[in-house]
Amino acid sequence: MSEQLLTIAAQGLFVHGATAHTFDDREVPEPVLRELYGLAVLGPTSMNCQPMRLVFVASKEGKERLRPALAPGNVDKMMAAPVTAIVAADKNFFEQMPVLFPFAPTARDMFLSNEKLAHDTAFRNSSMQGAYLILAARSLGLAAGPMSGFDTAKVNETYFQDGDWKANFLVNLGYPTLKSYRPRGPKLSFDTACRVE
DSSP state of 145: E
Q: Residue 5: inside a domain, yes or no?
A: no
d(CA 193, CA 150): 28
pLDDT at 6: 60
Domain membership flag for residue 100 = yes
Q: For residue 11, is pLDDT > 90?
A: no
* Single pTM value for the model: 0.91
Which domain range does residue 106 map to?
26-175
Residue 187 falls inside a structural domain: no
Residue 55 lies in a domain: yes
Model pLDDT, residue 144: 95
Q: How far, in Å, CA of 134 to CA of 17, rounded?
A: 10
Q: Is residue 143 part of a domain?
A: yes
Give the pLDDT confidence of 100-129 residue by residue, as tens digits.
999 999 999 999 999 999 999 999 999 999
Number of domain units in the chain: 1
Query: Which residues share a beta bridge with 170?
Result: 86, 147
CA atoms in the 13 A half-sphere facing the CB of 89:
20
- DSSP 3-state percent helix, strand, coil across the chain (nearest 5): 50, 15, 35
In a domain, 49, yes or no: yes
186, part of any domain: no
**pLDDT tens digits, 18-69:** 788 889 999 999 999 999 999 999 999 999 999 999 999 999 999 999 999 9
Give the CATH number of the domain where residue 72 resides.
3.40.109.10
